[in-house]
Structure 1
C-alpha cells in the first residue's frame, strides 16, 4: 500500500477497479484485440486467430514397419539388474498423430496389440533377426 501512496484502505478498491478496466481495454498479444471488444459476433474470428498458431509436433521417431521392443513396467521394489525392455520384438503397424503421438503394434505372428504406446515406451531394434540366448543346452 505504501508503494502506491495509499493512505486509506477505501481508495484501494477504486484503484483496483481502474487497473482492471485498463487491462480490459489494452490489446492482447494472443487475441490481437482488447477484451472489451470480444462479443458473439467476432467469436469465430477470435477462435481462428487464437488457434492458428498451434505448434506442430516434431516428426515421428519411428515409422511404419520399424521393429521395436516395449518397456517393462517395474515397481519400486523391482530388481535393477533385470532388463528394462521386453525380449519380444514388435513391428509398428500404424503411427497415430495424437498429442502425444501413439503407435499401434503387431507381434511376430501378426496379432495386433490392443493399446497404443508412446514413443518413450518403445526402443528401436536394429537387428530384429538376432535373439537372446536363454541357456546353453550342450557344450563340446
Structure 2
C-alpha cells in the first residue's frame, strides 16, 4: 500500500481497495494458522479451537537475578538525551526479594545499610555487578583524626563515598586510601 502511494504520488487508496482486501485475505495469519480465504464452513471448528481452545502453558522463565545478588539501578534519562556519563548508579544494592506473582519478574532491593528501597524494579532496570574487590571511589575527604589502638596511633580519615548519600560517610584508616597514579 505504501509503495503504491509513493510510486503514484497519491494517498488515494480507494482505487486499490479490492487488491488490498484480496491480498490481506490470501496472506497467512499466524493466529488461525492459515489464510482467511481457506476458512469455510467445513473447517470453522478447527479454526475456532486454534483461536480459543485450551491455552498452552506459558513458558515461565527463571528470574534473572537471585536474592543476594549485587545490582545497580538504571538512571532515567530524558528522551533522546545523550551523554558520556554512565546510565547506572554508582551505589550498589542487594536483591532482597523476588516477587514471583508478576511477569516479568519484579525485585525488591536494599542498600548496604539494609534499608529497603520503596517500590519494585523490573529486570531491565537492574544490572548485575560482579564485585571482585572491595575498592570504592572516594568523592572527598571530610575530616582527619588519630585513634589510639594499644600503643599505636592510627591516623584515620572520614570519607564521602562517590555515588553514595551522606548517610554512608565513614571513618577508615588513612593507610587504606589508594591514591590515583
Q: Note if 1:22 corresponds to 2:26.
A: no
Question: What's the counterpart of residue 132 of structure 1?
Answer: 137
- In the superposition, the TM-score normalised over structure 2's length comes to 0.48
The alpha-carbon deviation at position 132 of structure 1 amounts to: 2.9
| Aligned with residue 93 of structure 2, among 90, 97, 114 | 90
What secondary structure, in the 3-state scheme, does the structure 2 residue paired with 1:91 have? strand
| Max Rg structure | 2
Determine which structure has the larger strand proportion and give its number.
2
Question: What's the counterpart of residue 14 of structure 1?
Answer: none
| Aligned with residue 60 of structure 1, among 59, 63, 69 | 63
Structure 2, unmatched stretches of 5+, are: 1-17, 19-37, 143-178
- In the superposition, the TM-score normalised over structure 1's length comes to 0.60
Structure 1, unmatched stretches of 5+, are: 2-18, 33-48
The count of residues paired between Structure 1 and Structure 2 equals 105
Q: Distance in 1 between matches of 2:63 and 2:42?
A: 41
Which structure has more relative contact order (CA 8 Å, sep 6+)? It is 1
Q: CA-atom RMSD, angstroms? A: 3.3
